């Protein structure tokens, strides 16, 4: 799901011309298309991670309740620890996702700032 972010520089270089060929490509539409693809990808990944956090969080709550009912059940304790670890990893992944998104947006801005202003950033300028 991070393929676009991993290849953002290559994708921009392929899609956007150098200064000498700038007049032969509609930079505004090209940047807009790339931005829409990038935003769609970021939204999908964010929603996926948040959905997983909700599912695992619910499982952790259920396992905690089961552990309180029977504190000596080693199977429940084992599952609880495993799910708590998974939950922490997913929370870290959300932070990593934010860093990747910021990096990708910065690279995009550096290449497209003269020809396209993203809708969500138009109010910041």
**pLDDT for res 42:** 92
CA 99 to CA 36: how far, in whole Å?
19
Kindly tell me the burial class for residue 123, based on how many C-beta atoms sit within 10 Å of its own C-beta (0-12, 13-18, 19 or more): exposed
Give this prediction's pTM. Answer: 0.75
CA 69 to CA 72: how far, in whole Å?
9
Extract the residue ranges of the chain whose pLDDT is less than 70. Answer: 3, 10, 17-25, 121-125
**pLDDT for res 124:** 42
**pLDDT for res 96:** 92
pLDDT digits (tens, 9 = 90+) for 65-100: 999 999 999 999 999 999 999 999 999 999 999 999
CA 26 to CA 44: how far, in whole Å?
27
Cβ neighbours of residue 9 closer than 8 Å, sequence gap 6 or more: 107
Our separate counts of H helices and E strands in the chain read 4, 0
């Amino acid at each position: 799901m991070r393929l676009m972010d991993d290849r953002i520089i290559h994708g921009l270089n392929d899609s956007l011309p150098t200064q000498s060929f700038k007049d032969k490509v509609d930079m505004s539409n090209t940047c807009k298309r790339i931005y829409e693809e990038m935003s769609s990808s970021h939204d999908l990944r964010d929603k996926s991670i948040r959905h997983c956090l909700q599912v695992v969080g619910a499982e952790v709550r259920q396992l905690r309740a089961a552990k309180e009912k029977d504190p000596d059940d080693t199977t429940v304790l084992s599952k609880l620890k495993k799910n708590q670890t998974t939950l922490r990893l997913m929370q870290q992944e959300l932070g990593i996702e934010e860093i990747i998104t910021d990096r990708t947006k910065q690279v995009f801005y550096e290449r497209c700032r003269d020809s396209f202003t993203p809708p969500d950033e138009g109010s910041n300028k």
